[in-house]
Amino acid sequence: MTEETSAPLDEGWSGEGCPMGAFARRSFLQGAAAGLAGAAGGTALGGGAALADPVAQGEEPKSRVIPFHGYHQAGIATLPQQVAIFLSCDVTASNRKELTELFRTLTSRARFLTAGGTPPKVSPTATPSDNGIVGPTVAADGLTVTVDVGASLFDDRYGLSSRKPVQLVTMTPFRHDDLDPKLSQGDLLIQICADYRDTTVHALIDILTHTKSLMKLRWRIDGQRNQERPVGVRRDWFGFKDGISNPSVTDDTQMNQWVWVQPKSAEPAWAAGGTYHVVRIVHFHIEAWQKVPVAQQERIFGRRKASGAPMYAVGENANDLFDPIYTNDPQGLITALNSHIRLANPQTPQTAATSTILRRSYDYDRSFNLQDLDMGHAFNCFQQELKNYTTMQTRLEAEALVPYITPKGGGYFFALPGVRDERDYYARGLLT
Ligand code: HEM
């Protein structure tokens, strides 16, 4: 585990050293969240002008643009935007040539949508070139489109089986899972994130419209990131600050150690620069949770509810950047041995290699009526080794949180390396 250096805040995240020393941890969302609030605040300040100035006819709109081209895809080490849609698709292309066409189309749509701009002009009687949901000029609004492949794409349909990422398998159920096949797996996963809901929906419809002859939707989950309450890391539907401890995405050493597949690794050469992406759709039993006394809720997670700080920090405003420390608590009297954070990362030499994943989760609410709330976590994590996730998830089978959550779907995917430039396209290395 590398020591963290404080880095200037940019599209990535910056980290603060840990005041408690020994178990250097990373907690960085404060700065990053402030960045996003700043962006959103711009809106408030400028009453929307700051982010989408009125533009002259045909002139590019001014909104937050996250670069599309790069060695890695955007939407992984990118500060999580406010809104996300995860869609899993089954490919219907009949051969390798059509599959290549699909990836080329996905690339050109993502390249246009993430940059923003004016859709091609067509005669008023022709089929419009854009659905107009975000107005006559498409604003980028911090949109990222991240494309992954699933294990099923490597069956015998396209002759790619010898090129499958070594650890990419179909997700099998863990002990407490109740997986719905209609909400699981898929040939492709497309993660669409942006600052605004309409931007994500506009991109979704655009992408599905342009690819409908070559792929079809399998399942979809829409998520959001809640506001900071009062400051710092956002809270999930259980009311706990969620996303405090994570590798620092501005620390390339850490990212190359824990997230990005490296060249000359056990993985196929084309996979360098990509990463394993786990999506888990986890239903929350909100009604049951709300009856649990806060002291017990805190023992279940291993952190204080109000402050987000570790259990030894009792103050209302204790710092959530403090690290949980277990060296002086072998019996779990302070932080329970079956608490969420202690099982996820026991901080022991035996588990050190399987305790770091990059979490980038969203919360969903699909409740149509109050009787049965359908709320939960679109849990997302990225890691260089899929087994880091599966080993950690297996440890969590024994966690005290089990009675309050039910995993319902999701899958294992491999996020493709980045699209390097105008001539490149998603999965080119895999297909050629
Ligand atoms: C599904 C419901 C889940 C909820 C509500 C949840 C919530 C939380 C909360 C509140 C924290 C403490 C604050 C933080 O450091 O972010 C946390 C930490 C963490 N969670 Fe989860 N989590 C969930 C699922 C998972 C899953 C499925 C995994 C991985 C298999 C996971 C891995 C972690 C890790 C690695 C940490 C940091 C532990 C540490 O180093 O202190 N979580 N989670």
**Does the pLDDT value for residue 183 go beyond 60?**
yes
Ligand 1 centroid–CA 344 distance in Å is 7
**Closest residue CA from atom 6 of ligand 1:** 242
Closest approach atom of ligand 1 to CA 282: 1
Band of the pLDDT at 64, cuts 50, 70, 90? Answer: very high
Q: Rounded to the nearest whole angstrom, what is the distance from the C-alpha of residue 15 to the centroid of ligand 1?
A: 18
Alpha-carbon dihedral of residues 202, 205, 208, 213, nearest 10 degrees? -130
Judged against a pLDDT cut of 90, whether residue 36 lies above it is answered with: no
Classify residue 115 as exposed, middle or buried by CB count within 10 Å of its CB (0-12, 13-18, 19+). middle
Which residues lie closer than 8 Å to 358 by C-beta, 6 or more apart?
76, 77, 246, 247, 249, 255, 258, 259, 381, 382, 383
The band of 8, judged by pLDDT with boundaries at 50, 70 and 90, is very low
Tens of pLDDT, residue by residue over 312-329, are 998 878 888 889 999 999
- Rg (C-alpha) for the chain, rounded Å, is 22
Report the nearest-CA residue for atom 34 of ligand 1. Answer: 344
Which protein residue has the closest C-alpha to ligand 1 atom 14? 244
Structure tokens at 412: 């294992």
Mean predicted confidence (pLDDT) in 235-243: 96
- In tens, the pLDDT along 404-422 reads 999 999 999 999 999 999 9
Give the closest residue (by CA) to ligand 1 atom 9. Answer: 242
Kindly state the percentage of the chain with pLDDT values over 90. 80
Q: Give the pocket of ligand 1 (CB within 6 Å).
A: 236, 238, 240-245, 280, 282, 301, 303, 324, 340-341, 344-345, 357, 359, 377, 379, 389, 392-393, 396, 405
Q: Residue 399: which of 176, 75, 92, 93 has the closest Cα?
A: 176
- What atom of ligand 1 comes closest to residue 302's alpha carbon? 12
Q: Are 359 and 243 in contact (CB under 8 A)?
A: yes
pLDDT given for residue 369 in this prediction: 62
Q: Which atom of ligand 1 is nearest to the CA of 379?
A: 1
Please tell me the distance between residue 401's alpha carbon and the centre of ligand 1 in angstroms: 11
Coil/strand/helix, residue 147: strand
Distance 45 CA to ligand 1 centre (A): 34
- Determine the Cα–Cα distance for residues 124 and 130; give it in Å rounded to an integer: 12
Q: How far is the CA of 242 from the centre of ligand 1 (A)?
A: 7
Ligand 1 atom nearest to CA at 25: 40
* pLDDT value, residue 372: 78
**Cβ distance 38 to 341 under 8 Å?**
no
Predicted confidence band of residue 13 (pLDDT cuts 50, 70, 90): very low
pTM of the model as a whole: 0.87
The SS3 call for residue 378 is strand
Dihedral, CA atoms, 66, 68, 70, 72, nearest 10 degrees?
Answer: 80
| Sign of the C-alpha dihedral computed for residues 296, 297, 303 and 304 taken in this order | negative
If DSSP codes are grouped into helix, strand and coil, which group holds residue 177?
Answer: coil
Query: What local confidence, expressed as pLDDT, does residue 226 receive?
Result: 94
CA distances from 250 to 30, 67, 229 (A): 14, 16, 25
Over 70: is that where the pLDDT of 34 sits? no
> According to the model, what pLDDT value does residue 63 have?
83
Least confident range of 42-46, 169-173, 309-313: 42-46
